[in-house]
A and B are shown apart, each in its own frame.
Chain A
């Protein structure tokens, strides 16, 4: 067998290979939880693997804050464009694309192709900007369900996600109980804590108070609220890592060997966070960041049931896998246990693993044999039913 040296390494290592996004336009307005609606919209998505004849092997992967429909594989001529969950999804991987037809959908309000605040508002012909309606996890799920309808998928073998993606998977099990056989909720929570919301609001304030934000209409001014985005990302990033992991990676290492006695970069951790902030502000949209953090804050399926999560999950029919990571302090294991407890009280089929990984919240994206083997075993079980 010959190998093409121009192809990225990922392809050799069980990748789904070269992928291309697709779009689907919806002319029917989408009513939103807020009472507003989106008149018409486009969803961007990718698929991997083959949908079987009875359409029983579809797996929907829901993305978290800064990810997209690009779950696995690489784009042609962009060797660094590896999908965000490429270690999870691919031929022979935990979510095996030899068995499953995997779909990644970019959510509404995002900045990666689906209709969002940078696109033209049909009512004005100008970018939505701050006028893009606030969307919720439930609104996203409704939009995803419409795409499933278009693809002819009545019932997913599984809906799966990490963090905010896990909230969407959980919402699927509540909103469309008969449309998924399995629900995989990783490093997630049934609702944000006051501390989680506080971090989100500091990030939002950084963006909202950036003079380049222009009330959300920065597109018209030809600028980007880069400073706000950078700070927002730096704050977010701190919550994705564990104290131990950060200490191990950076400690008190100095960039230039000694104190500089100024306010530039002294410590490696400062350099790292600023680099992450800079990189993020190059590609992420400020309005999208506001929208997605609000969707996080608002998620609370138990709210309609006086805070009783057991009642909120009482109509679910799916079987569940819930996974948390011991050093995740953003959505700590305790939050996953709340989900498990509510499912157990309803006698639902549920397994729960608490992975002792050092990487904090980010662990759900990383390679950890115990974690990936467990998900692989669970998907073997799902595979037996397709």
Chain B
């Protein structure tokens, strides 16, 4: 999948793809239908694997000729050796995890760099909904409180703290809205938080 196609299909991923170095060995944790790896393989000559649990998404990856390993991310990344990847992606899936901290530590273990994205709970629509006394339902969080797969709600400020805690240094943090970076009052105006992280001490 080339960049133009990805930009139409998933503008958020197109923005993030820019942060991945050409020829990088990449692990995409929660890779979904494999569209990101598909793009990184064809346009940036990256190698690597996606991890996904859902049968239909594993099949979609196979159809895209993306290497996928079917596994529950809650079980961590023990299949992968220390520092075995150039970069780990964990895009819009961290918020569905029970073991967020353990997974983040594992991500820091298997690669020097990581890119993590999640719906920003501090986005103004979400704040407004709470002020009105209701749980937010938006394009970024399109579920009712009783059927959401998202177990964790975090803001950009919250994640900063945890990243530091697990030994990751924040190199860059951008809030995206409809795939466009928001520079001014990001934690309020951006619906998707994107962190570029590096192992501390590198």
A340 CA / B80 CA spacing, docked (Å): 10
List B17-66 residues whose CB lies under 8 Å from chain A.
Answer: 25, 47, 49, 55, 58-59, 61-63, 65
A374 within 8 A of B: yes
Q: How far is the CB of A334 from chain B (nearest CB, A)?
A: 11
Residues of B within 8 A of A353 (CB): 58, 62, 68, 70
Whether the Cβ atoms of B47 and A337 lie closer than 8 Å is no
List A347-370 residues whose CB lies under 8 Å from chain B.
Answer: 347, 349-356, 370
Q: How far is the CB of A337 from chain B (nearest CB, A)?
A: 6
The one of A351, A356, A380, A381 in contact with B55, judged by C-beta atoms closer than 8 angstroms, is: A356
The tally of residues in A whose CB lies under 8 Å from a CB in B reads: 22
A307 CA / B1 CA spacing, docked (Å): 40
Q: Which residue of A lies closest to B84 (CB)?
A: A345
A353 CA / B81 CA spacing, docked (Å): 20
Whether the Cβ atoms of A351 and B68 lie closer than 8 Å is yes
A193 within 8 A of B: no
Instruction: Annotate B96-130 by CB proximity to A: 1 below 8 A, 0 otherwise.
Output: 00000000000000000000000000000000000
A24 within 8 A of B: no
The tally of residues in B whose CB lies under 8 Å from a CB in A reads: 19
B135 within 8 A of A: no
Residues of B within 8 A of A355 (CB): 55
Q: Which residue of B lies closest to A323 (CB)?
A: B70
Whether the Cβ atoms of B61 and A347 lie closer than 8 Å is no
Residues of A within 8 A of B67 (CB): 349-351
A20 within 8 A of B: no
The one of B25, B71, B79, B81 in contact with A354, judged by C-beta atoms closer than 8 angstroms, is: B71
Q: How far is the CB of B77 from chain A (nearest CB, A)?
A: 11
Q: How far is the CB of B194 from chain A (nearest CB, A)?
A: 26
Whether the Cβ atoms of A374 and B58 lie closer than 8 Å is yes
A315 within 8 A of B: no
A75 within 8 A of B: no
A386 within 8 A of B: no
Whether the Cβ atoms of B47 and A347 lie closer than 8 Å is yes
Whether the Cβ atoms of A341 and B79 lie closer than 8 Å is yes
A36 within 8 A of B: no
A373 CA / B59 CA spacing, docked (Å): 7
A344 within 8 A of B: yes
Whether the Cβ atoms of B79 and A374 lie closer than 8 Å is no
The one of A344, A347, A350, A377 in contact with B59, judged by C-beta atoms closer than 8 angstroms, is: A377
Assess A344 versus B62: contact at CB under 8 Å? Given A350-B67, A352-B68, A352-B69: no
Binding site for B on A (CB under 8 A): 337, 340-341, 344-345, 347, 349-356, 370, 373-374, 377-378, 380-381, 384
User: What are the nearest 3 A-B pairs in CB distance?
Assistant: A377-B62, A352-B69, A354-B70
